Amino acid sequence: MNKRNKIGVGASIIGAVINALLGGLKFFIGLATNSVSILTDGINNLGDFLSNIGGAVGIGVSSTAPTKKHPHGFEKSEDIATLFVASILFIVGIIFVYNSADRLVYRRPVYFSWLYFGLVIGTMVVKVAMGIGYKLANKKVNSTILDCVKIDSYLDVGITSVALIGYTVSQFTGFPLDAIVGIVIGVIVAINGFKLLKGAVSKLIGEDNQGIRNSVFKMLQVVPEITKIEKIVVFDNGKSSSIVAKIEAQFESMEEVENLKSEIKEKTNYIVYFEGKIVK
């Protein structure tokens, strides 16, 4: 496993442990106070725990060396893990909406405690720190999974803030804001999960990378040795993504061809293969 993947796996495992602790704490507070908004927020953190585990597995598997059966490697595993994370978020969001709507119809008393209020505030500070940590780690690894959980960490801070407001207002006014907040949290989480799910599915089935194709076409177009560009095909395989360009060219040597490949790789981060007659 290379350094990039070690950092990604390590960050995911640390996040899993912290989310498990935060989720357990909020789950306990939600049950003790009968607050559906804090309870659903706690379940959200437990969902984050599963997301982190999925992320660690995805990043770890993606580092497996290519085999004869899978010559492009296993880096698509990150996209599969992202799909897993997004699915959990979407399902958890739907469950939030259902449970909160049930509390809105069948109202139950909420028990307020300044101690629990302070503990939940503390979990928000931890989540901000986690988001910053994921951001710093992702600068070194550039992983879609870490970017996903970073956004989720910041989103959790907003969700917890709204949950606290609902918890407090419900106690002092008798208005069922706690249940309403639970519904809002559920909708936000479900929408965020759906967006991530849509992006992950698009990557897995192979989205049309028109931008990369046009960029490579323009780079090849200005090379005087290339007389004809017949076709450019882009293959997205995670970090080992490649481009196959069918061309006709009059290069003096293979060294010139390799230099052009290196230039395109540096600008696009795609491995380049040429087909056709390219050397005199």
The yes-or-no verdict on residue 157 having pLDDT over 80 is yes
Q: Indicate the pLDDT class of residue 279, thresholds 50, 70 and 90.
A: confident
Give me the pLDDT at residue 78, please.
66
Which tens digits make up the pLDDT trace of 44-96?
Answer: 788 788 778 877 777 777 666 666 666 556 666 667 777 877 787 788 788 87
Which residues, other chains included, contact 152 with Cβ-Cβ below 8 Å and sequence gap of 6+? 48, 51, 89, 192
3-class secondary structure for the chain? CCHHHHHHHHHHHHHHHHHHHHHHHHHHHHHHHCCHHHHHHHHHHHHHHHHHHHHHHHHHHHCCCCCCCCCCCCCCHHHHHHHHHHHHHHHHHHHHHHHHHHHHHCCCCCCCCHHHHHHHHHHHHHHHHHHHHHHHHHHHHCCHHHHHHHHHHHHHHHHHHHHHHHHHHHHHHCCCHHHHHHHHHHHHHHHHHHHHHHHHHHHHHCCCCHHHHHHHHHHHHCCCCEEEEEEEEEECCHHHCEEEEEEEECECCHHHHHHHHHHHHHHHCCEEEEECCCEC
Q: What is the pLDDT of residues 183-223, one digit of tens each?
A: 887 888 788 788 878 877 877 776 657 778 888 888 888 88
All structural domains of the chain = 3-205 (1.20.1510.10), 210-275 (3.30.70.1350)
pLDDT over threshold 70, residue 20: yes
Q: How much of the chain, in percent, has pLDDT values that exceed 70? A: 87
What average pLDDT does range 125-151 have in this prediction? 83
Band of pLDDT at residue 29, cut at 50, 70 and 90: very high
* pLDDT value, residue 119: 93
